[in-house]
Amino acid sequence: MQLILLGLPGAGKGTQAKVLSESLGLLHISTGDMFREAAAAGTELGSRAQDHMSRGELVPDEVTIGMLLERIAQPDAGQGIMLDGFPRTIPQAEALDVALGERGTPIDAVLYIQVPESDLMTRLTGRWTCPQCGTIYHVQASPPKTAGVCDHDETQLTQRADDQPDTVKTRLDANREWTEQLASYYENASKLHDIDGTGDPAGITARLMAAIESVSAAG
Ligand code: AMP
């Protein structure tokens, strides 16, 4: 299957994508993770992306589309993909449709995780990540056993520059517009599934699974 997770920052895309891709045997592709890895590795792509990311802006389409198309052309993407954080613009969605159409595996479903914006602000500003293993913690919802330290490898947790409060507001404002545009794009293609993203993560996973199963049964 080829699936897309859509939702505003903090809607839980990353957490759900990890769980779902493992249980469905899909390759989890997060363009945000790819940009952060490239920035950490100090590649040219990484430094171009970093300027935009630290301002809470989108990385330009020509950079993002090129990187994503290269990734989905790798053999391990043949098992099916779960996209998290891509597409974020209509040209990205169109480029993806063309590439997947050419290989005969179009998008099966777009899962739109919906969370009220007041909840998103609280969720985002309390998020801390392990730079070593990528585990995501939250000061209220899922704190580490020892404050500021990863449970798995004892690495010092970091707060992403774009999760700091002033940047979060800019990010939500910027993201709202394109998220709605993409929701309409996939609604017109009859691929959009609205998922209630409130409540405990296991309940959200169950609702996502039910939607995916309904698509796979229909296909
Ligand atoms: P994320 O981890 O998905 O929130 O992404 C972090 C940052 O990476 C975003 O705020 C953007 O600056 C950049 N980014 C990730 N995916 C994309 C994309 N599909 N298009 C443009 N910029 C992106």
Q: Are 113 and 195 in contact (CB under 8 A)?
A: yes
The answer, yes or no, to whether the previous bond of 87 is cis (omega within 30 of 0) is yes
pLDDT in the model for residue 83 = 97
Q: Are 107 and 212 in contact (CB under 8 A)?
A: no
Helix (H, G, I), strand (E, B) or coil at 136: strand
Measured from the CA of 171, which atom of ligand 1 is nearest? 10
**123-168 tens-digit pLDDT:** 888 889 999 998 989 888 889 999 999 999 999 999 887 778 888 8
pLDDT (average), residues 109-136: 91
Residue 86: CATH number of its domain: 3.40.50.300
**To test the ligand 1 pocket, which listed residue (36, 37, 54, 58) has its Cβ within 8 A of the most ligand atoms?**
58
pLDDT in the model for residue 121 = 87
Report which protein residue has its CA nearest ligand 1's atom 8. Answer: 32
Cα(168)–Cα(8) distance, rounded to whole angstroms? 11
pLDDT (average), residues 4-10: 93
56 occurs within a structural domain: no
pLDDT-derived band at 56 (thresholds 50, 70, 90) equals confident
159 occurs within a structural domain: yes
35 Cα: distance to centroid of ligand 1 (angstroms): 8
Report which protein residue has its CA nearest ligand 1's atom 15. Answer: 32
Catalytic residues, by residue number, are 13, 88, 127, 160, 171
Q: Which helix (H) or strand (E) holds 84?
A: strand 81-84
Of 20-34, 112-126, 195-209, which gets the smallest average pLDDT? 112-126
**Rounded mean pLDDT of the chain?**
92
151 occurs within a structural domain: yes
8 occurs within a structural domain: yes
Q: Of 36, 109, 101, give the one whose Cα is nearest residue 72.
A: 101
pLDDT in the model for residue 117 = 86
36 occurs within a structural domain: no
Number of folded domains that form the chain: 1
- Show the ligand 1 pocket: residues with CB < 6 angstroms: 9, 31-32, 35, 52-53, 56-59, 64, 85-88, 92, 162
145 occurs within a structural domain: yes
**To test the ligand 1 pocket, which listed residue (28, 31, 90) has its Cβ within 8 A of the most ligand atoms?**
31
Measured from the CA of 162, which atom of ligand 1 is nearest? 10
pLDDT-derived band at 218 (thresholds 50, 70, 90) equals confident
Strand partners, 149: 156
34 occurs within a structural domain: no
Sequence letter at residue 52: H
pLDDT (average), residues 75-103: 96
pLDDT in the model for residue 168 = 84
Alpha helices, DSSP H, located in the chain:
13-24, 31-41, 44-54, 61-72, 90-102, 117-125, 165-188, 201-218
81 Cα: distance to centroid of ligand 1 (angstroms): 18
Q: Are 121 and 172 in contact (CB under 8 A)?
A: yes
Strand partners, 27: 81
pLDDT-derived band at 77 (thresholds 50, 70, 90) equals very high
**62-71 tens-digit pLDDT:** 999 999 999 9
Sequence letter at residue 91: P
Structural domain span for residue 191: 2-26+79-218
Report which protein residue has its CA nearest ligand 1's atom 14. Answer: 32
53 occurs within a structural domain: no
